[in-house]
Structure 1
Amino acid sequence: MINRRNLLAAGATAPALVLSPSVGAAEINVQATKGKTFVLIHGSWHSSGHWERLAPLLSAAGHAVIAPDLPGHGLSARFPGSYFQRPIDISKFSTEASPLAGVTLDQYVATVSDSIDYARKAGWGPIILVGHSMGGVTTTAIVEQHAKQIHHVVYLAAFMPSDGTSALSYLSAPENAASAFGPLLLGDPSKTGCVRIDMRSTDPKYVAALQLALYNDAELPDFQSAVNLLTPDDPIQPFAALTHRTLANWGSVPRSYIRTSKDNALPIALQNRFIREADAFAFRNPTKVYDIDSGHSPFISQPTALADILLAVASVRGDEALPPWAR
C-alpha cells in the first residue's frame, strides 16, 4: 500500500488514491495531474491484488495506475464446488465443469476498455498498457481496437500471438517445451471449460512445482501470499480465441517487451519467438526489449526493478535512465 511518506513525496502529482466503483472492483486509480496512465492487465489465475507492490512505485513517480480484475478473477472469481473439499477428491475436481466456462476474450476486452474510457474521461495522462503473461492476449486485442488511445504497449513475459493464431497454439510449440507449468494442469479443458490448477494443494511436490513455475525467485512467504490470491480456474475461451492485429492499428503503437530471464512458466525461447514474429510483422516499428533477471512474476519478487523499467518506458527518452542490468 502507499505509505504516508510516498503520498507526501508525490503530493503535487499524485494527490490521492481513488477507488472507483464505476470502473470495476479492486481497481487502483491514482489520479495524476502530469505523467502517464498505466493500465495493468494481469495474467491467468491472477488478479489486481498481485500488482500491489508495483502500483505505489508508479504512482509515487506521478503516474496514474488502473489495475482491473478481468471477468472471473479477483472478486468476480467463481469456484468449482470440489475445490473447497479437503482432502480433495482429485477425480471430481479434475472433471467438474467450471462456472467460468462461458467467460470470453470479448468480456476481458470490454472490462479493460471501460478502464481506458474512465481514464480518458477523467483527463488523465496518455495510456501505457501493460499485459502480463496471458494478459498479453487481451492487451493485443485492446491495442488493435483502441490504437489511437494507447501511447505505448508493454508485454511483460507475455503472450504476443501472431495474427490469426491463439495462445493455445503456442503451448505445444517447441519453444515452450521447457515450461514447468504442464504438470500442474488438472483435467481436460475441453470438458471443464477452463485451465485448472490446485492452489490449495497439500501435496509438497505439487506446491514446490507451483512455486517453481510462477514464483521461483520469490521468498517463501511471498510465494505463499501470492498463491493464496490465485483462483483455480482460468477460462479456456480466451486461450482459444484467435488474435487479430493489423499494421494500421496494433503495428502503429510503440511497444516494449520485458523478458524474464529466469522464467519457468513462459520460457525465454518462447518470449523471443513472440518478439521475432512481432518484428517481422511490424518491421518499421520494432519492439524495444528490456531484460530483468527474474522469474515469471517480477511484480512479486522484484517490483522495484520492474518499476524502474516501466518508468523508463514512461519517460520521453527513457533508455538512458535504465540501470545497467536492465539495458
Structure 2
Amino acid sequence: MDFFQFPSISKAIPEFYNNRADMLQFDLEHGRYAIGDLCVVERLEGVRTINAGPADANWRAVFNASVLNSGFNDCCVIMGAPKSKLQEFKTQFNVPFVVKGKNSKGENKEITIKDMRVVPEATGHSLAFQSAIQEEVLVVSIGFGTIEAGAANDQGIISSTLVSFDLGTQVVAQDVMSQILTNGAVVPVGKGRLHYFDDVVRDVHDGKKRDFPLRSSQGILKAEVVHEMVFNALDNYAETIQVTLRAYLNKYRDRKFKLILTGGGMLYLPVRRKLEELAANDNYSLIEISEESRVKSAAVGYRIIGEKLFPEENLIALDLGNHTTIGFYKEAQIKLN
C-alpha cells in the first residue's frame, strides 16, 4: 500500500483536535485559513453543518463567518455538497448577494458574492488527489450523512462515476441510539439526539467508557454493554457498506484506478479494516492518506475548480464540515496593460 500526504497548509489544522474549546480558529498565514469547532462547541441546535444546508440559519452562520474573514470587498465562492443535495443547495442562492456582519476581529464587514458554484463533494476529493498523484484516482468519502464517490483523470472529473449513497455513519448512530433507548436509558439531550449518539459512538470507539442511568431509577446501562452495542453496530455497518461499495467499484475494475478511502468514517477501525480487506481481496491499488489529508482534500479540489472558473476574481474555495471548516482565499491578480 502506498502512502500520500498533502504538504501542510496551515499550522492551525492539527490544533483542531487538541483545542476543542475554541469556537473559531484562524490561521491566515500565506493567505490560507481554517475555522474550528463552531458546529461542535455551539451544537448549532443539534444540526451539524454539512447535513443542514443553506436554508438553515446555523449553516449560514458558518458560511458567513468564512466569507467575512476573507478581507475581500467582493469575491466568488466555490464549494461542495453531497451529490444528492446539489439541487437543494443551488436553489438557495441568487447571485450576486451581500454578506454582512463582523469578522473574527469584531470589525463590521460587507462583502459581495459575485458568483457562486456548488459541485458534488467527490469532485473536490478526486481532483485534489489526481492533481497531486498524477494518476487516475477513484475516491470514496465516508461522511456522517452520505458516502460520496467519484473518479478523476488528467482530463478532469469522470462524471459517470459520481455517486451518493445514503449510508453515512449516521446509520451507526441511529442503530446505537435505538439499542440504548430500547434498554430504557435516560439520555440528557433533546434536539440533535442523533449527533449526540454519534459522539457516543466515537467516544466508545476511542476507548472512553459511556454508561447511562435507567428510567426505572434502578441501576445503570453499564459501559461494557454500551461498548458491545457500539462495536456490533460498527461491524454491521462495515459489512453493509463493503457490499455496497464492492458493487459500485466492480463497475470500474478494468480502469485500474488508484483507490483512496477518506472521510470521517475511516477513523473507525472496523470500517477501515473491512474496506482495506475489500481492496486487498479485489486487487485494488489502495493509497493510504494521512488524517490531515482527509480533512482538507475537498477544499484543495474546490480551489482547483475555482481557479479555472474564476481566474480573474477574488476566490474563496470552501469546504464546510462537521468538525472543521477549511478553505482557501485567493486574491485576484492585477493585470497590467
**TM-score strictly above 0.5:** no
TM-score normalized by structure 2? 0.29
TM-score normalized by structure 1? 0.30
Give 1 or 2: higher strand fraction. Answer: 2
Structure with greater contact order relative to length (CA < 8 Å, sep ≥ 6): 2
